[in-house]
Amino acid sequence: MDRRQFLLLGATAAGVSACHAFPGLEIPVRVDMPGMALGHQLRDAHAWPAATEHRDVDTLILGSGVAGLTAAWQLQKHDYRNYLLLSGPEPLGNTAYGDAGRGLRYPKGAHYLPFPTRSSTHVRELLADMGVLVSGEHESHPYYDEAAILHAPDERIWADGKWSPGVIAPVAAHSESARQQARFFRWVEQLKTQKGSDGLRLFDIPLVLSSQDDDWRRLDMMPFSRWLDQQGYTDSALRAYLDYACRDDYGAGCTHVSAWAGLHYFACRDGHASNGADGGLLTWPEGLGRLTQWMYNRLPAANVMAGSAIRIQEGQHNVTVDVLAGKTRMTIAARRVICAMPLHVLKHLVSLSDYGFDVPQQMPPHAPWLVTNLVLQGFPPEKDGEPLAWDNVRAGSDGLGYVVATHQWIREAMPERTVFTAYRNLPQFSPDAARKWLLAAKPADLFDAAMVDLDEVYGRPRLWRHAQYAEITVRGHAMATPAVGFLHNAGLAALRKQDGRLLFAHSDLSGLSLFEEASWWGYQAAQKILG
Amino acid sequence: MVDRLLVFSVFVVASCGLAYELIAGALSSYLLGDSLLQFSSIIGCYLFAMGVGSHFSKYIRDEDALTRFVDIELLVGLLGGISAALLFVVFAWLSAPFRSVLYALVFLIGVCVGMEIPLVMRVLDRQQMALRDLVSKVLTFDYLGALAVSLLFPLVLAPQLGMIRTGLLFGMCNVAVALWTTHLYRQHIAASTARLVKGGVILGGLLAAFLYADRITHWSEHGLFGDEVVYSTTTPYQRLVVTQWKDDLRLYINGNLQFSSKDEHRYHEALVHPLLTSLPWARQVLVLGGGDGLAVRELLKYPQIEHIALVDLDPAMTQLFSTSPRLTALNKGSLRNPRVTVVNEDAGQWLEQHSRMFDAIVVDFPDPSNFGLGKLYSVPMFRLMSHHLAEHGRLVVQSTSPYFAPRSFWCIDATLKEAGFNTWPYHTYVPSFGEWGFILAGKTKDFTPPAKYPIPLKYLDDDETRRMFRFPADMSPLKMEPNRLDNQSLVHYFEQDWHEVSR
């Protein structure tokens, strides 16, 4: 019996609650709310110091998330040099990652990419440039670097006291539940290749390349849950899974999400690989930070500046952007500006109604998102059933499960340290109420909320034996929710079309928060600059 | 004076009582896991048994109290003393009733220990000590004894003596108390001489067991491995056990046979010589796995090899095979040869983080028996090896059995091809393993199996080499898909293939 076991014995005997009374026994919890301070100052019309410096540039990119970096990568690739990327409050944005030392990286946001569709030429180009897509960039089944393809075992679900394969709680064969599940997946499988009256795929990525066929776009006007009811998809295990999928990608459950978006989730993912089974995906220990960091590393230091835009004014001949860089304030005059930041921030910097976007009526709801990284010394013991997988979910949970950051490592032995990344949002609240709760919550409350799945499947004392520290990244406005009617949002359509001095690039323009969408708009903006 | 000695015996008795409880808890945690459950159930059972013992102490007549105290000390000494040894042996030989034996033993010892203090108090009471002094003194020493052992046990005794010897030591203390009490109060104790003799015999037995405790550990592990265990250790990565039966040394990792000294030369000659004899210009060689130094022993037979890097995960393994005389006699001290560098690092990590090039790579990884190990036989891993291999260099991979696990073997072959290698699979018969397979691979197509070897070998010759590279009808090649990391078919094949064999 070692020291930890003695401590554990004492801790358990004294009761878990006692540990709350002795803060020294708690795992250190670090809470990070990227961009919040600046965002709230902008909202509250903070008084900024006067500008002391001035700079001119041809193209200014505001933001270093997926959209901004994709735009910069394209400009750089086409030998366009007169640009400046302003990194914004959080470099790499929603794909930021952390490092727990000795090469142990973990995601603080988005963490995987399904095999790109044929229409996602922009993503395929990026992967090919990186060497992740080895050959067949323009074919239906490209050959990918297998190290990046998600390794087996990919997923498992905790239901009835044991782990089963898959992400749907197991049901009896030949039961009504099994029939409904089979019917649903047959249906979406068929939708994957089905085309509308205009010859385009019904559901595609990027979303704007989907069919305009009104017979299908009409689905956008009802909630996904109603459509499921109408179609007789009432099985509770199936519905729990569909709700999980919507919360995971859209930040809200089936009752909020548009039926078109609900089907898009399943039917759009028609990418293949010649060396991986259909439905596979690409992932890295640091999540999608691998992609954005690669693009970032390509940019010359002179073309990148740390700082954030606080005001944008379009003039006769150029655009003036007020910038906060550390403590100094400066103005940058640019011929054209790519606004690669979320709309809920951008609305405080520029009057969006001038560009056809009505903020009160057309702003998509943004759902909050908690990413909790638990750094572990050794792996906690596993319970019955399937072994530890990449994605581990719990049936009927408010949480979204946890992902193992070292899963893609190729090693002889289990690594000495690992990171479990627990994802969670707060669907029981409206986005506004959830943000209020997040603002008021103490680190211990956030930690408890983040631990709903890990507590249940390991028990907190067992995790304590291994946990070194936890890092919670709170993203108050993490993702746009494709609510009912999002596809018909005329304001978003207007921003997408802009081709003047101000260009817009963000996944918000698609109304849903996917890497492929963000990167598509970054790519489009760069093409507009390059002409 | 005499009473004070009796009170001191309370200190010893209390120490012993707690020691048995801790030994049972620690031992069952070690053997069964789940220390929380083991400790609390054992503490509960033990305290309850002590209560039962205290209750029954009232049936002992006052005039017998001292005699029974001596008897109980002898019994506790015997039972407690051999408890750890008994549990080890039961666990090794008859694993099923282990829990029953554990709790029965804990209960019996608890009952006896529960009678000790009430009896001592009654003896002292008869000697007209004031009740408040009596209670205060006895309980003070009782609790002091508990404190002493609770510190001594985890800090000194368990690490220095081990469980078996610690148990025996406390058993001897109990018996010593019995002998001493008998000696001091011989007028009050019935048949005192007979009890002294009985105590002497038990003490002698415990002492003998104490001196031969190592043998007991051996016998119990002998029960697990069949042969005498000459070395065993548990490292953070694996359990290593070396056994010996006459001149046959065997290494087991996590209970699986790694080699037998009787026939390991067949395995290692087949692993190394077709590769190295075909590369007379090879100067730099990498060995992945193979911490036993036996493949390196074969490599060192080539005088032209300038340097061998051996990357093995477990420092305990390479340390054992660098220092143990029996084992260095087997590998001819290969790991301490100046031409050899031993690196204790995970091979996957080492290949990722270094860029050295080699003329030959010998891959002797564990079989792909789980998803973690399966990744070692994947396209990215073989490509990584390819980056470390000279353009005309070659590598060899131990690839399980083409006879018992044909799908696994040919799946590894397909994976090497997918990683861009030309392959030359071969096989040989190793009596302790059965038919075993290897795959030689290179970036160029120009390999031919050697017709003769430049160095004297025990097993390989030209006829045998020709036979190795031929696959007879019952081992004919299978068309397999490569081991893709997204489904790791190799791990499933390996499990199914061996499951069918062992049925």
- CA dist A217 and A199 (Å) reads 14
Q: Catalytic: B364? A: yes
**pLDDT computed for residue B28 by the predictor:** 81
Q: What would the mean pLDDT of A47-56 be, rounded to a whole number?
A: 92
| Cross-strand partners of A369 | A475
> Does residue A176 belong to the interface with chain B, where contact is any CB pair within 8 Å?
no
For A209, other C-beta atoms within 10 Å of its C-beta total 15
Nearest CA in chain A to B490: A152
- CA dist B305 and B303 (Å) reads 6
Each domain of chain B, given as residue ranges in start order, spans 2-224, 226-258, 261-502
**pLDDT computed for residue A124 by the predictor:** 98
Q: What is the pLDDT of residues A428-468, one digit of tens each?
A: 899 999 999 999 999 999 999 999 999 999 988 788 888 99
Is the pLDDT at A13 greater than 70, yes or no?
no
- CA dist A462 and A459 (Å) reads 6
First to last CA, chain A: 70
Q: What is the pLDDT of residues A58-84, one digit of tens each?
A: 999 999 999 999 999 999 999 999 999
**φ/ψ (deg, to 5) at B367:** -60, 155
- CA dist A103 and A83 (Å) reads 33
Nearest CA in chain A to B31: A1
**pLDDT computed for residue A15 by the predictor:** 38
- B2-224, what's its fold? Growth Hormone; Chain: A; (1.20.1250)
CB-CB under 8 Å, A146 with B379: yes
**CA neighbor of A114 nearest in space, from A71, A74, A154, A157:** A154
Nearest CA in chain B to A277: B486
CB-CB under 8 Å, A409 with B379: no
Q: What is the pLDDT of residues A82-109, one digit of tens each?
A: 999 999 999 999 999 999 998 999 999 9
Average pLDDT, chain B: 88
> Is there a single domain that holds both residue A399 and residue A474?
yes
Nearest CA in chain B to A389: B371
Q: Which of B366, B373, B485 sits opposite A151 (nearest CB)?
A: B485
Q: Given pLDDT bands bounded at 50, 70 and 90, which one contains residue A18?
A: very low
The CATH number for A64's domain is 3.50.50.60
- For residue A146, list chain B residues with Cβ-Cβ distance below 8 A: 378-380, 484-486
> Does residue A16 belong to the interface with chain B, where contact is any CB pair within 8 Å?
no
Looking at residue A254, its amino acid is C
Residue A54: CB partners within 8 Å, gap ≥ 6? A330, A331, A332, A333
| % of chain B exceeding 90 in pLDDT | 54
Q: Answer whether the bond into residue A116 is a cis peptide, omega within 30°.
A: no
| Cross-strand partners of B398 | B438
Please give, rounded to a whole number of angstroms, the shortest distance from the CA of B499 to a CA of chain A: 19
The DSSP letter of residue B263 is: T
Please give, rounded to a whole number of angstroms, the shortest distance from the CA of A277 to a CA of chain B: 7
Domain total in chain A: 3
H helix or E strand, kind and range, residue B385: helix B379-387
- Token pair of A98 as six digits: 């952390």
**CA neighbor of A391 nearest in space, from A382, A404, A379:** A404
Of the listed B142, B364, B367, B497, which one is catalytic?
B364
- Residue A462 domain-assigned? yes
Please give, rounded to a whole number of angstroms, the shortest distance from the CA of A409 to a CA of chain B: 8
Q: What is the ipTM of this complex?
A: 0.85
Q: Given pLDDT bands bounded at 50, 70 and 90, which one contains residue B93?
A: low
* Range of weakest confidence among A191-195, B73-77, B421-425: B73-77
- For residue B371, list chain A residues with Cβ-Cβ distance below 8 A: 151-153, 387
> Is there a single domain that holds both residue A258 and residue A391?
no
**HEC per residue, B205-235:** HHHHHHHCHHHHHHHHHHHHHCCEEEEEEEC
The CATH number for A232's domain is 1.10.405.10
Q: What is the pLDDT of residues B7-24, one digit of tens each?
A: 788 888 888 888 998 988
CB-CB under 8 Å, B313 with A412: yes
Q: What would the mean pLDDT of A494-508 be, rounded to a whole number?
A: 97
| Cross-strand partners of B435 | B429
Q: Which of B289, B376, B380 sits opposite A147 (nearest CB)?
A: B380
**CA neighbor of B342 nearest in space, from B326, B323, B367:** B323
H helix or E strand, kind and range, residue A306: none
Select from B35, B485, B492 the residue whose CB has the most chain A CBs within 10 Å, as the one to mutate to test that interface.
Answer: B485
Q: What would the mean pLDDT of B43-69 be, rounded to a whole number?
A: 90
| % of chain B exceeding 70 in pLDDT | 94
- Token pair of B420 as six digits: 């861009």
CATH number of B261-502: 3.40.50.150
- Residue A152 domain-assigned? no
CB-CB under 8 Å, B487 with A277: yes
Is the pLDDT at B229 greater than 80, yes or no?
no
Q: Is A179 helix (H, G, I), strand (E, B) or coil?
A: helix
Q: Given pLDDT bands bounded at 50, 70 and 90, which one contains residue A216?
A: very high
Q: Which position has the token pair 């066929």?
A: A213
> Is there a single domain that holds both residue A342 and residue A430?
no
- CA dist A260 and A210 (Å) reads 11
- Residue A321 domain-assigned? yes
> Is there a single domain that holds both residue A476 and residue A371?
yes
Region of residue B371 (phi > 0: left; psi between -120 and 50: alpha; otherwise: beta): alpha
Q: Which domain holds residue A184?
A: 177-272
**pLDDT computed for residue B11 by the predictor:** 85
**CA neighbor of A85 nearest in space, from A296, A236, A280:** A296
Q: What is the pLDDT of residues B403-415, one digit of tens each?
A: 999 999 999 999 9
- Residue A303 domain-assigned? yes
> Is there a single domain that holds both residue A352 and residue A499?
yes
**CA neighbor of A318 nearest in space, from A113, A104, A56, A141:** A56
Q: What is the pLDDT of residues B438-482, one digit of tens each?
A: 999 999 999 999 999 999 999 999 999 999 999 999 999 999 999
Q: Given pLDDT bands bounded at 50, 70 and 90, which one contains residue B218?
A: low
CB-CB under 8 Å, A275 with B379: yes
Q: What is the pLDDT of residues A240-285, one digit of tens each?
A: 999 999 999 999 999 999 999 999 999 999 999 999 999 999 999 9
- Residue A129 domain-assigned? no
Q: What would the mean pLDDT of A31-40 be, rounded to a whole number?
A: 95
- Residue A69 domain-assigned? yes
- Token pair of A424 as six digits: 């969670």
Average pLDDT, chain A: 92
Q: Given pLDDT bands bounded at 50, 70 and 90, which one contains residue B46?
A: very high
- Residue A372 domain-assigned? yes
Q: Angle at Cα B281 formed by Cα B278 and Cα B284, nearest 5°?
A: 105
- Residue A262 domain-assigned? yes
**pLDDT computed for residue B502 by the predictor:** 59
**pLDDT computed for residue B255 by the predictor:** 73
> Is there a single domain that holds both residue A208 and residue A68?
no
> Is there a single domain that holds both residue A396 and residue A454?
yes
> Is there a single domain that holds both residue A456 and residue A492?
no
Q: Angle at Cα B438 formed by Cα B435 and Cα B442, nearest 5°?
A: 160
CB-CB under 8 Å, A276 with B380: no
> Is there a single domain that holds both residue A420 and residue A465?
yes
CB-CB under 8 Å, B380 with A5: no
- CA dist B287 and B291 (Å) reads 9
Nearest CA in chain B to A390: B486
User: Would you list the DSSP string of B270-334?
Assistant: HHHHHHHHT-TT--EEEEEE-TTSHHHHHHTT-TT--EEEEE-S-HHHHHHHHH-HHHHHHHTTG
Asked, colleague to colleague, whether B2-224 and B261-502 share their fold, the answer is: no
Q: Where are the beta strands (DSSP E) in A365-466?
A: 366-377, 391-394, 399-404, 417-424
Residue B335: CB partners within 8 Å, gap ≥ 6? B293, B296, B310, B318, B321, B322, B328, B342
* Range of weakest confidence among A238-252, B19-33, B356-370: B19-33
**A239, A272, A305 — which closes off a domain?**
A272
Q: Which of A1, A276, A277 sits opposite B26 (nearest CB)?
A: A1
> Is there a single domain that holds both residue A340 and residue A416?
no
Select from B484, B490, B494, B495 the residue whose CB has the most chain A CBs within 10 Å, as the one to mutate to test that interface.
Answer: B484
- For residue A105, list chain B residues with Cβ-Cβ distance below 8 A: none
Is the pLDDT at A220 greater than 60, yes or no?
yes
**CA neighbor of A485 nearest in space, from A211, A139, A220:** A220
The answer to whether the CB of B429 falls within 8 A of the CB of B266 is yes
Q: What would the mean pLDDT of B326-337 be, rounded to a whole number?
A: 95
Nearest CA in chain A to B26: A1
